[in-house]
Structure 1
Amino acid sequence: MSFLDKAKDFIDKHDEQVDQALEKVGDQIDNRTGGKYRQHIDKAVDEAQRRTGAGDTRP
């Protein structure tokens, strides 16, 4: 099993935790940029969460 396959398997098994981590990363970036790019960061986090599959933590 390749690294990429292992990563996909991990994401599938731990989608909720991955979504929470993405949210925290987005919040950190937003804080470091002073909220200047909040709309773009939120959109990127939402898209990343959507791509990780079912079980997304944000509507």
Structure 2
Amino acid sequence: MQSLLSSRPVLWFLFLFNLTVAAVAPFAMGGTQGLVTSAGMGVVSLGAGSALLKGRRQAAQQA
């Protein structure tokens, strides 16, 4: 499961999907629920984005 979650296509999907949901959630849901959903999805998106950048740096150092 770890190798699946750390593959580049899955990380890109997590990053883009969760970023989109984080941007739309406050408008689609009302009040506090939209804000909490947006914050949670934003954290997941930032985590996937940082993993993408981390992998990019490691690949550049090995080359």
Q: Which has the higher contact order (CA 8 A, sep 6+)?
A: 1
Q: Which has the higher helix share?
A: 2
Structure whose alpha-carbon radius of gyration is higher: 2
- TM bucket by the smaller chain? 0.3 to 0.5
What's the TM-score once normalised by structure 1's chain length? 0.46
What's the TM-score once normalised by structure 2's chain length? 0.45
